[in-house]
Structure 1
Amino acid sequence: MKSFQVTAFHQPLTEVDRPTPELTGSQVLIRVKAAGVCHSDLHLWEGGYELGHGRKPLSLKDRGVSLPLTMGHETVGEIVAAGPDARDAKIGDIALVYPWIGCGKCDVCKAGDENMCLKPRFLGVYCDGGYADELIVPHPRYLLSLAGLDPVTAAPYACSGVTTYSALKKLDFCLDSAIVIFGAGGLGLMALSLLKAMGGKGAIMVDIDAKKREAAMAAGALGAVDGAAPDALEQLAAKAGAPIRGALDLVGNAQTAQLGFDCLTKGGKLVMVGLFGGGAPWALPLIPIKAITIQGSYVGNLRETQELLDLVRAKKIAPIPVTKLPFAKANQALNDLQAGKLVGRAVLTP
């Protein structure tokens, strides 16, 4: 089993060769065909999150992330072997790996919301993930058939796809009007395509990168605004043409959080997904005065991931742009993502 591991924060990934472990119980072995490179991987690679307001950064080590770690939570692979209790595993199937696995025993997990478990076993975060030629998945239920879908372009559905799908569901009360989406990278383009398929009117995209704004417009955005422009708020109001009731922040820094809050009308809702970092910028009295709802959204559950794949097939949703790179260039992919050079998603392949 060859993998590319974080062995020290802020340092290049290390190529590691080790024997493939013997499968036990319900474990399933997949041969990796594609592994998306997510912005969350940058935080794992860097070791934490900035909290702003002079606070000590949130250390991933303190959250239970230990090294060495094979990252990769957007993984597609071929099922090649199964443990004695993995009766539902279909050898030869191409499957999307659901990575947001919980303890399986608590009330949250039993309710189907493993992504909210307090003792998570997330693949590529707390357990080894898909930056490898092989991956062990603990149970066949976490393998979703990709029949009819391309493994490379489908890999991002395990994170950017289900993350934006779940977040947009939290804005379903206002999808009949224009919403604002902050961030036109892989997540933003994914959100834009899903919004149309979910019957939404559309979105005005906000990004400081002109190329990403162009990509958003090419993907059918209602408009695009430079978030750094001094009149960004006025531009949003003009392009919306009506009070803005919903905003989705896929960046998550102080500037996008403030503009997202400011652009909303009374009773509006800001759903926050991005983990760029920083501190909350809002004037507290304005939250009740505007009756604003601020809600966090963290990936999505297994049921939503299957719903997403069904929607992709039913609506024939076009994939977001991907840049294919061999696993040996995983470090380049991370550096390019960190430098903002990628449009859409980088996907590692054998």
Structure 2
Amino acid sequence: MIDRHDPHTDLHSEQGAVRGEHPGRARNPIVKAHDLAWLEFQKPDLERAELFARAFGFTTSLRTQDELHLRGTDPGSPCVLIRRGPRSRFVGPAFKAADSKDVLRLADATGRTMAALPESIGGVAVDLVDPSGLQVRVVADMHVLPGLPTQQPLTFNVGHEVARVNATQRPPREPAKVQRLGHVVLQTTRYLETLNWYLEHLGLIVSDFLYHQGQRERGPVMSFIRCDRGSTPTDHHTLAMTLGPANRYVHSAYQVPDLDSLAAGGQHLLDRGYRRSWGIGRHIQGSQIFDYWRDPDGFLVEHFTDGDLFDCTLEPGWAPMAASGLAQWGPPATKDFLGMTPGREALRELRAVIGALREDNEFDLHRLRGLMKAFNS
């Protein structure tokens, strides 16, 4: 007898949606974004930023006095743009549209204007603002940077299947070569409104919803969202969004070839005095093997490999939010990763909580209790 049990079901979600819950997609989105194009940051010290970037595994594709473009080995656009500014801040994401017609369609629908991008990048863009106040660019027809050599996967002896004889494994302790930008995670005080905006404007679809334990009837508080390219599989999440006391960047993730390059690259970062935030482990939602680091400006960045790919047919999973549910294996989530390390950041988060509870948004006392329960679970 054939076992038709799908092991994916047990890890992807606790159970599917029940009647009346969010469907995880818009019926008639304006356009369907194909991918993340890049992330834009502002930093005061580009020399320090570039030094970390090289250790992390990026390649510099453009360097001027006031601008730094970082790329992976995959062909395409740079995946991180950094401009010199008075303070460190996340400016916003840029999503790649199918073509310039979609950019124009989005501009017309939102009352915005399509404009040419700088010649160093090429193409066109429309600048939007999501309900959290974040600048969101949608771009198309950029110059395509040629692919670069990447690290080659090792040959493995898996169990009794022998593929390597009279040869050793010696992965070099060197930067893990970033292949591409994978996803960005954002926190918002207006989670549902912002989620719906991305589904309706960019045609993104939800892979997984998380809810606070004991509060499922109040709706989800986090979503892992992918691009809808029909039958073409895409990353489990290109954007993840969570309800919290402040509108802010949480982290961004960059694909590397395999576990050995990720682990050896981590040793390379440690050797140079950089700080690991959390890792190495394997997530549940998305299944990625992960390793999180803090850059010199305090931004959380992730190396990942072996992530899930879904096509448009898979419906959203639903599961309770819990710190213990962040990984299948690996060390427990750290206070640094959860944003609970005592010090300046914790005080800033406390002030954000107090401010959010006084304002008209989706973050209330019930949500605060649910969040604290999740962090301590």
TM bucket normalised to smaller = under 0.3
Q: TM-score, structure 2 length as denominator?
A: 0.22
Structure having the higher helix fraction is 1
Task: Calculate the TM-score normalised by the size of structure 1.
Answer: 0.24
Of Structure 1 and Structure 2, which has the larger fraction of its residues in strand?
A: 2
